Amino acid sequence: MDKNKIRNYQIFSVIFTFILGTLLHFMFEWSGENIFVASFSAVNESVWEHLKLLYFPMLLTLIIGYFYIGKNVPNFLCSKTIGIITSILFTIIFFYTYSGILGVNIAIIDILLFFVATILGECVAYKLINSNFKCNNKIFIFVLILIGICFITFTYFTPKLEIFKDPITGQYGIK
């Protein structure tokens, strides 16, 4: 597979995730709090809801990329899934570390965190795609679907855990 084509696709993935993730932050409100839109956009300011801003755009670029280059790259699905998981885990770890140290979260750091997590996840995926990494795509497809089911389910049936709590309203999940 042509490394330039893969690189260009990964650059597209980063830019696409930046744009769509940013739009998804506001989409629920813009939709008049449409119950369907709530499934894939942030319904509050919790960390969990903000992880959707990474997951769903990156999932969409995975699907697009599969038809563009993925059919010719045996480890494509695994690599992109690991990239998504990397972005999510980095966001959780960095957010709770910095906000725990400072005792407060800062909007500009949160925004930059979204961009850094996107780039990091796509860089990990790029490195894996271009490596000899071997994997079982079926397992990673299952993991990817399971994560998506969790994002959708926990929007409507929200556990009472800190990651799901809106720091502004103190509410969980959809209002």
Measuring CA to CA, which residue among 141, 131, 118 is closest to residue 73?
Answer: 131
Q: Give yes or no for a contact between 41 and 24, defined as CB atoms under 8 angstroms apart.
A: yes
According to DSSP, the residues that pair with 165 across neighbouring strands are 172
Please tell me whether residue 165 adopts helix, strand or coil conformation. Answer: strand
Mean pLDDT of 142-150: 96
**Residue 97 burial (C-beta neighbours within 10 Å; 0-12, 13-18, 19+):** exposed
**Around Cβ 138, how many Cβ atoms within 10 Å?**
10
Token duo for residue 12 = 């597209």
- The yes-or-no verdict on residue 137 having pLDDT over 90 is no
pTM of this prediction? 0.94
Per-residue pLDDT tens over the stretch 77-111: 999 999 999 999 999 999 999 999 999 989 999 99
pLDDT at res. 71: 83
Burial profile 1-20: b = 16 or more Cβ within 10 angstroms, e = fewer: eeeeebeebbeebbebbbeb
Which residue shows structure tokens 């929007």? 155
Higher pLDDT, 3 or 29: 29
- What distance lies between CA 40 and its chain's CA centroid? 11
Mean pLDDT of 21-42: 96
Give how far Cα 47 sits from Cα of 76, 91, 151, Å. 28, 9, 12
Mean pLDDT of 133-145: 91
According to DSSP, the residues that pair with 172 across neighbouring strands are 165
Mean pLDDT of 22-51: 96
- The yes-or-no verdict on residue 1 having pLDDT over 80 is no
